[in-house]
């Protein structure tokens, strides 16, 4: 049995978790997430404030995760820490602390790619959410459609050409005067909106598209955001219209995400679809995925909100996989604002 501590500080959540197990039988012993609410005041994450907040909370967050798991640092087999992608100053706090723990207790250190963490999150709750599957990773900074043949082997089918899905939600929320991060407020508002009033185009979804087309799996949300901006500007009464606009926006985005995911699952004849990242909290999306894919015999797995948004359990889980495959990071492990997910194979 292996016991791993995970640390996540890539953005505005300071998180630590302890996992135990082996192979695909890995159990979560603890998960502590401290969200930095201070950024709401600024309508977005302020990098330096995020780094300083990680610095003050990393020690108590890790201690609490160890305490809840009933273990001490001496009981750990490895430390897994997010080292990319994210805000470099924020990442450096977790990376430096993880290094210090690994060095002082003479245990292995494993640098984890944040998006590989999102890929593994659902497997912590659903034993069947394991490869092969089609993965849609949708967060505040990334939108990735992957074919996952096995853990560690990822075919990148499509990514966003501009805004990430979560970013589109957050920007539209801002246009509608909603708090940051706005995804869940858009979802709430859209639930009361009229779906027939604002019909925005579905980005990059053409009826007779072919798998050989360059945009067959690609995403683009900036045009949709501009269309929303125009609707907001030309509205005579935005208070009366905003629920209908939110509904039109969400319907367009959801339909695009579902269509591209269905294309990926069909092309590789996958029977499972795994959705991850903060936007996976969106229940309208999950319901639309299931309505579209279940009749085709495809099971859709989504994580609970706590594991969908940034957390250290997913980092420990991805670290587990890397650890069992003999991967170790040196004490020269660095932090990077962006880098491709490891294990990519040619499309
Ligand atoms: O994965 P995550 O916690 O952080 C990043 O790695 O970026 O994702 C955060 C994103 C934000 O853009 C937030 O608005 C979005 O997830 N989000 C949602 C919902 N809940 C969170 N988007 C749509 N609907 C939701 N219910
Ligand atoms: Zn994330």
Asked if residue 86 has its Cβ within 6 Å of ligand 1, the reply is no
* pLDDT tens digits, 221-237: 999 999 999 999 999 99
Residue 235 CA, ligand 2 centroid: distance in Å: 34
pTM: 0.97
Residue indicated by tokens 């499972």? 272
Cis peptide before 132 (omega within 30 of 0): yes
Residue 185 CA, ligand 1 centroid: distance in Å: 11
Asked if residue 277 has its Cβ within 6 Å of ligand 1, the reply is yes
Which residues hold their Cβ within 5 A of ligand 2, which is an ion? 139, 310
The answer for residues whose C-beta is within 8 angstroms of residue 136's C-beta and 6 or more apart is: 144, 145, 146, 257, 260, 261, 264, 273, 274, 275, 276, 280
- Residue 207 pLDDT class (50, 70, 90 cuts): confident
- Give how far the C-alpha of residue 277 lies from the chain's centroid of Cα atoms, to the nearest Å: 2
Average of per-residue pLDDT across 213-223: 96
pLDDT of residue 13: 97
* pLDDT tens digits, 60-103: 999 999 999 999 999 999 999 999 999 999 999 999 999 999 99
| Percent of the chain predicted with pLDDT > 90 | 96
Residue 292 CA, ligand 2 centroid: distance in Å: 26
The mean predicted confidence, pLDDT, of the chain is 97
| Percent of the chain predicted with pLDDT > 70 | 100
């Amino acid at each position: 049995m292996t016991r791993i501590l995970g640390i996540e500080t890539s953005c505005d959540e300071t998180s630590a978790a302890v996992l135990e197990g082996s192979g695909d039988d890995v159990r979560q012993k603890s998960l502590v997430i401290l969200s930095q609410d201070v950024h709401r005041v600024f309508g977005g994450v302020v990098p330096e404030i995020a780094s300083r907040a990680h610095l003050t909370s990393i020690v108590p967050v890790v201690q609490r995760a160890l305490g809840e798991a009933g273990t001490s640092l001496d009981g750990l087999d490895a430390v897994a820490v997010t080292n990319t992608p994210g805000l470099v100053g924020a990442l450096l706090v977790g990376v430096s602390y993880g290094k210090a723990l690994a060095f002082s207790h003479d245990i292995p250190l494993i640098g984890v790619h944040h998006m590989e963490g999102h890929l593994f999150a659902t497997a912590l709750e659903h034993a069947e959410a394991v490869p092969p599957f089609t993965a849609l990773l949708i967060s505040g900074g990334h939108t990735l459609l992957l074919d996952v043949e096995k853990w560690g082997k990822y075919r990148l089918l499509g990514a966003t050409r501009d805004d990430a899905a979560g970013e589109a939600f957050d920007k539209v929320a801002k246009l509608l005067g909603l708090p940051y991060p706005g995804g869940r407020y858009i979802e709430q508002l859209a639930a009361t909106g009229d779906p027939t009033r604002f019909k925005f185009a579905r980005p990059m979804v053409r009826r007779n598209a072919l798998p050989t087309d360059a945009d067959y799996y690609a995403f683009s949300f900036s045009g949709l955001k501009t269309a929303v901006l125009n609707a907001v500007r030309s509205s005579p009464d935005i208070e009366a219209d905003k629920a209908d606009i939110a509904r039109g926006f969400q319907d367009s985005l959801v339909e695009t995400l579902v269509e591209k995911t269905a294309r990926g699952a069909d092309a590789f004849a996958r029977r499972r679809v795994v959705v991850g990242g903060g936007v996976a909290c969106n229940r309208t999306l999950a319901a639309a995925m299931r309505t579209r894919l279940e009749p085709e015999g495809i099971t859709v797995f989504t994580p609970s909100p706590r594991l969908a948004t940034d957390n250290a359990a997913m980092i420990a889980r991805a670290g587990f996989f890397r650890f069992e495959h003999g991967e170790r990071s040196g004490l020269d492990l660095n932090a990077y604002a962006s880098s491709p997910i490891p294990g990519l194979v040619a499309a």
